[in-house]
Structure 1
Amino acid sequence: MSFDGLPPLREVIDRYELRAKKALGQNFLLDLNITGKIARVAGDLSDVTVIEVGPGPGGLTRALLAHGARRVVAIEKDERCLAALDEISKHYPGRLHVVPGDALKTDFATLAEPGSPVRIVANLPYNVGTELLVRWLTVPQWPPFYQSMTLMFQREVAMRIVAEPGSEAYGRLGVLAGWRTRARIAFDLPPQAFTPPPKVTSSVVHLEPRAEPLPADVRTLGRLTEAAFGQRRKMLRQSLKSLGGEILLESVGIDPTRRAETLSVEEFVRLANAV
């Protein structure tokens, strides 16, 4: 038995024949010391509903419950994992609610109980992680339905989330995350921490929503950053041609010969409001 009285994760994986599927972007995190560290980054969970995406055999799920999460709602697409998660649910009666299904088709705002604060904590499947983050960053209602997000990504993606203007990694993700949240990398994980080991280092990113981000239309800012960084080697007058190009840029006092990675979040917001 492990620290929480449940069988070791390797035993669970063998018993239910849970080989990670590449098609689902799965890399299982088995080290309960590391999953515990992720749970601690998310803060005090005692009165919180935690939403987890892609729990797999339940390593992080167990850590969240052991660290006192009042309730965990876990969305799992892989039906093979449901029996293992049911075992955890029985061990923590009434505290784990498993939702079988696709995270990309889930309305996350409806998963919380009325009056219960929500935090999102997940070792996101690699193939949907970025898309889910963009959706959570661009929800229409702000402040959003969640208090914070503690998420694992490939390190390269994590660097793009926390990137500053002028850096190689700065792009659409950096603008959206910088606009609406304060984001930081909490710690890195080597490939050996996972089964099977991915080819890359992973990072845990913690994001806290800004109470009052600069006002801008979410969709317009999204279109603008997509156009600007879609042709990042070109001058903005060229990459933003479809949105007004030179005239748009000059109307807000931005030199049309600049490139996307030199613009601050504030300048992108100004442009979005001018569109």
Structure 2
Amino acid sequence: MTSISVLGCGWLGLPLAKHLVTNGFAVKGSVRSEEKIESLEAVSVTPFVLDIDGEIAEQLWGAFLDSDILVIAIPSKNQTGFSALIRVLESSSIKHVVFVSSTSVYADNNGVVTEDIAASESSALFQIESLFYQSSVFTTTVIRFSGLVGYQRNPGLFFQKSGRSVSNPDAAVNMIHQDDCVELITQIIKQEKWNNLFNACADSHPSKREFYTQATQRIGVSTPEFIESDTQTFKIISNEKIKKALGYEFIYPDVMQITYDEC
């Protein structure tokens, strides 16, 4: 049985770990506090308490990294911590890494962004991605997600507090639902798409004005103030590569059709 360790069992990592278990994998998961251990045990995930910002040494991380595959699903930009993790990884049994990144590594280009577009070299996330690609001991696939929405992450709730506004209202949004994130990572693992770079975003790209107006109206929150501008800066993230590579059809291709029921 293929074994997988999921570093960071939070909003994305926990449902991913649960899904991997249901797909027949042996799964270990990490959290940063003892209080969260129960949530892992409840879905048959072997729990570990680890923190990328703490000490990273073989004696602390060795058992967690005794797996075939590591999925990194934490938002940290601690390059020192990741460098230390890579050193421990290179003496572990891990053969493949899936690193969850973000399309925020791309600057606005007022056009379509594919994986062939260079990321911003000043981006901390891009620099961390590069650290993983440099290793010759394991292979890394980076998946860059756009704005994460779904269960417990309703974009309309951001505007419950008054005074929050939206700039560039006619710029396109790039969003992806949690369910698609989970299934895309699962398919990368199942189909062994190693040593790759993928962008991941829903098919549709409505304007901020359309998206946030609908999101607030649905929950009875006042429509945000839109700061008008003569010029718009934007990017439209292409998902063509990942759809073709995996033969994947998005569960939520149209972000305007996403509902945000609690899970």
TM-score, normalising length from structure 1? 0.40
**Which of structures 1 and 2 has the bigger CA Rg?**
1
Which structure exhibits the higher relative contact order, with contacts defined as CA atoms closer than 8 Å and separated by 6 or more residues?
A: 2
Give the helix-richer structure, 1 or 2: 1
TM-score, normalising length from structure 2? 0.42
